[in-house]
C-alpha cells in the first residue's frame, strides 16, 4: 500500500510537535503541551493503541476484579485538540526530522516535526532461559491479562474433570517468575482467585491449589523498603503462595519447569514477570544509548539534537539524587518526566521557562487484592485496610479517566462473587512472550501454533512507565 502523508490541517504553519507513544510519559507530555500551548502549536500523538492503558491495575483485570475497558482510557477523550495517529512508528529520521509509521491494516504514513517527544516505553524483558519463549507468557498488556484469566479458569475446569491425580495436581500448580511489583501483585491476587474457583468443584477438595513465586533476589519487592517487603511476603504466604527467593527457572518445558535448584515442578502455567526492556525503536533511531535507553541531559534533551526530548522508560534520565545512575523505569518517574517534557518543549517555543529533572520518590503502593496492600506514602509504612484505602485512592487520582467505573467495580467485587467463565477472546498464539507489542498482541514473527503453555482447548507479567 502506498505511503500516505496527512494533508496539512488548518494552522499548519504553526510549530509541529510530535509525541511518539501515549503511555505514562507520552500521555502526560501530550496533555501538558495542550494545556500550556493552547493552540500555539500543532500537536500530533502517534501510538499503536487508541487509549491510555493504566498498567498498575492490570492484575485486577487478570483476576476479574475489573472489567478490561476500565483501565483503557480513550485518547480522543483525554487529548482533545491533538491530532491522533493510530499506528506503530517504523522509522525516525533525525536528519530530515521525519517520523514514519504503519497502521494496523498495513497502511503507511509519515510526517515532519519541529519538536519531537520520544516516549515509546518498554516491552517484555526476555532472559536467555531455554524454553521460556516457547512455554511462558508475559504480562504487559490487556491481551495477556485476558488470556491469562481464561487460562487460569481453564486449568481449574480441566483439573476438575481429570482422572489422573498427577495431571490434576499439575493443572492446579501455577508458577510466576519475578517478585517485583507485577509478579507480586499477580501472584497474590491470582492465588485468591484460583482458590475460590477450585472451591466450586467437589472433585478438587483433596487437591490443593499451589502457587510459586520465584526470584533470584533475597526478598520479594527488593526495590522497596524492607517493611513493605515483609508485609507483601506475609500476605503471600497467608494465601498459600510458596515464596522462593534466591532461585528461578533454569528451563521451561511443555508441562513443567526445571528450577535452578534442580527441582522439577509439573505445571501448565508459567507467568513471566521478570521485568521490561526499552522499546527496540530506541536503537533504531541511531542516537547514543545507555543499556538500550536514549542518552539525555537532565532537561530531557538529546545531546546534539535539542529539538528532541525523551522521557519515561525510553530515556536514561540522569538521577541527580543518585549520581551516576539513570532514573528507574517506573510509572512515577515516567509521569513526572512527561510533565517536564511538556514544560521544556513549551519553553523552547516561547511559553514558560525550562527546568531540569529532579524527583524524590513520594512513596510506593502495592495492591495485593481484597483488603490487603502495602504502601508507604511520604515514607510512612502502612499495611492492611489503611494501605488498601491509600493504594486505591492513589490509583483513582492517577487515572486520567474511568474513575467512577473503577470504583463501582471495586464495590461490586466486595459485595458479589466473581464470574469464573472463559470468554475465549484471546488465544495463546496471539500473546507470545517474544512479542514487541504486548499491548496489542501483534507478533514480530508468524503465528506459532505450539507456543502456548498448553494448546488451545487444552491446558494452556512492575510495570514500566511507558
pTM of the full structure? 0.87
What does the alpha-carbon distance between residue 220 and residue 217 come to, in Å, rounded to a whole number? 7
pLDDT over 90 percentage in the chain: 74
Contact between 46 and 101 under an 8 Å Cβ cutoff? The reply is yes
Asked if residue 34 is part of any domain, the answer here is yes
Mean pLDDT of the chain: 89
Question: What percentage of the chain reaches a pLDDT higher than 70?
Answer: 90
Instruction: Flag whether 251 is in a domain.
Output: no
pLDDT digits (tens, 9 = 90+) for 423-434: 888 887 778 776
Residue 9 Cα distances to 13, 42, 47, angstroms: 9, 9, 20
Amino acid 13: pLDDT: 85
What is the per-residue pLDDT across 249-262, written as a single tens digit (0 to 9) for each? 999 999 999 999 99
**Residue 158 belongs to a domain:** no
Mind listing the pLDDT tens digit for each residue in 265-293?
Answer: 999 999 999 878 899 999 999 999 999 99
Lowest mean pLDDT segment, chosen from 34-38, 110-114, 119-123, 462-466: 462-466
**Residue 321 counted as domain residue:** yes
What's residue 428's pLDDT? 77
Domain of residue 32, CATH code: 3.50.50.60
pLDDT band, very low/low/confident/very high, at 441 (cuts 50, 70, 90)? low
The phi and psi torsions of 170 (rounded to 5 degrees) equal -65, -40
pLDDT at 464 over 80: no
Mean pLDDT of 314-329: 90
pLDDT of residue 219: 95
Cα separation, 11 vs 321, in Å, equals 42
287, part of any domain: yes
Judge whether 295 lies within some domain: yes
41 pLDDT higher than 90: yes
What pLDDT is stored for residue 456 in this prediction? Answer: 30
Q: What is the pLDDT of residue 9?
A: 54
Q: Which domain holds residue 298?
A: 8-48+87-123+277-348
pLDDT digits (tens, 9 = 90+) for 158-172: 999 999 999 999 999
pLDDT at 436: 53
**Residue 447: pLDDT band with limits 50, 70, 90:** very low
Nearby residues of 323 by Cβ (< 8 Å), 6 or more positions away: none
Does the structure show a pLDDT above 90 at 37?
A: yes
Domain assignment of residue 93, yes or no = yes
Residue 2's pLDDT is what?
A: 43
SS3 call for 179: coil
Confidence of residue 457 (pLDDT cuts 50, 70, 90): very low
Contacts of 321 (CB under 8 A, 6+ apart): 358, 359, 360
Kindly tell me if the per-residue pLDDT of 22 is higher than 90. Answer: yes
* Residue range 385-433, pLDDT digits in tens: 999 999 999 999 999 999 999 999 999 999 999 888 888 888 877 787 7
Separation of alpha carbons 225 and 7, rounded Å = 53
Task: Specify the number of domains making up the chain.
Answer: 1
Fill in the DSSP letter of residue 360.
Answer: -
Residues 6+ apart with CB under 8 A from 441: 141, 143, 144, 426, 430, 431, 435
**What is the arithmetic mean of pLDDT over 115-136?**
90
Q: Where are the alpha helices (DSSP H) in 316-383?
A: 331-348
Q: Is 99 a domain residue? A: yes
| Contact of 130 with 431, CB cutoff 8 Å | no
Q: State yes or no: pLDDT of 223 exceeds 50.
A: yes
pLDDT in tens, 71-103: 999 999 999 999 999 999 999 999 999 999 999
Beta strand pairing call for 373-375 and 88-93: unpaired
The residues near 319 (Cβ < 8 Å, ≥ 6 apart) are 325, 326, 327, 328
Amino acid at each position: 500500500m502506498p505511503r500516505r502523508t496527512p494533508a496539512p490541517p488548518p494552522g499548519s504553519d504553526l510549530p509541529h510537535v510530535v509525541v511518539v507513544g501515549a503511555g505514562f510519559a507520552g500521555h502526560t507530555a501530550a496533555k501538558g503541551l495542550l494545556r500550556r500551548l493552547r493552540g500555539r502549536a500543532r500537536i500530533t500523538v502517534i501510538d499503536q493503541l487508541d487509549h491510555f492503558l493504566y498498567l498498575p491495575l492490570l492484575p485486577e483485570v487478570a483476576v476479574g476484579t475489573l472489567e478490561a475497558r476500565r483501565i483503557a482510557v480513550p485518547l480522543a477523550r483525554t487529548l482533545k485538540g491533538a491530532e491522533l495517529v493510530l499506528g506503530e512508528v517504523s522509522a525516525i529520521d533525525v536528519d530530515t526530522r521525519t517520523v514514519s509509521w504503519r497502521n494496523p491494516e498495513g497502511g503507511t504514513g509519515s510526517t515532519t516535526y519541529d519538536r519531537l517527544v520520544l516516549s515509546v516505553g518498554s516491552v517484555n524483558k526476555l532472559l536467555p532461559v531455554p524454553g521460556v519463549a516457547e512455554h511462558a507468557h508475559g504480562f504487559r498488556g490487556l491481551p495477556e491479562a485476558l488470556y491469562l484469566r481464561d487460562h487460569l479458569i481453564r486449568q481449574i475446569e480441566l483439573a476438575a474433570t481429570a482422572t489422573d491425580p498427577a495431571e490434576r495436581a499439575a493443572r492446579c500448580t501455577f508458577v510466576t517468575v519475578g517478585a517485583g511489583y507485577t509478579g507480586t501483585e499477580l501472584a497474590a491476587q491470582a492465588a485468591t482467585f484460583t482458590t475460590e474457583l477450585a472451591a466450586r468443584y467437589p472433585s478438587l477438595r483433596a487437591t490443593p491449589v499451589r502457587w510459586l513465586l520465584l526470584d533470584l533476589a533475597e526478598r520479594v519487592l527488593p526495590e522497596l523498603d524492607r517493611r513493605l517487603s515483609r508485609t507483601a511476603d506475609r500476605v503471600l504466604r497467608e494465601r498459600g503462595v510458596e515464596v522462593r527467593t534466591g532461585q528461578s527457572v533454569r528451563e521451561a518445558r511443555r508441562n513443567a519447569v526445571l528450577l535452578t535448584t534442580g527441582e522439577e515442578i509439573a505445571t501448565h502455567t508459567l507467568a513471566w514477570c521478570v521485568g521490561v526492556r526499552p522499546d527496540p525503536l530506541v536503537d533504531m533511531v541511531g542516537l547514543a544509548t545507555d543499556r538500550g535507553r536514549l542518552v539525555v541531559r537532565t532537561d530531557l534533551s538529546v545531546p546534539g539534537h535539542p529539538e528532541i526530548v525523551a522521557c519515561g522508560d525510553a530515556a536514561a534520565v540522569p538521577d541527580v539524587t543518585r549520581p551516576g545512575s539513570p532514573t528507574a523505569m517506573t510509572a512515577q518517574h515516567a509521569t513526572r518526566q512527561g510533565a517536564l517534557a511538556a514544560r521544556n518543549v513549551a519553553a523552547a517555543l516561547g511559553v514558560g521557562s525550562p527546568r531540569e529533572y529532579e524527583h524524590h520518590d513520594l512513596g510506593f503502593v502495592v495492591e495485593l487484592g481484597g483488603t490487603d496492600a502495602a504502601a508507604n506514602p511520604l515514607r510512612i509504612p502502612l499495611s492492611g485496610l489503611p494501605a488498601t484505602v491509600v493504594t486505591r485512592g492513589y490509583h483513582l487520582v492517577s487515572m486520567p479517566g474511568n474513575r467512577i467505573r473503577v470504583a463501582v467495580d471495586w464495590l461490586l467485587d466486595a459485595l458479589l462473587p466473581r464470574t469464573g467463565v472463559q470468554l475465549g477472546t484471546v488465544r495463546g498464539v496471539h500473546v507470545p512472550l517474544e512479542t514487541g507489542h504486548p499491548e496489542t498482541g501483534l507478533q514480530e514473527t508468524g503465528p506459532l501454533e505450539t507456543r502456548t503453555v498448553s494448546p488451545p482447548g487444552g491446558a494452556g507479567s512492575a510495570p514500566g512507565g511507558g
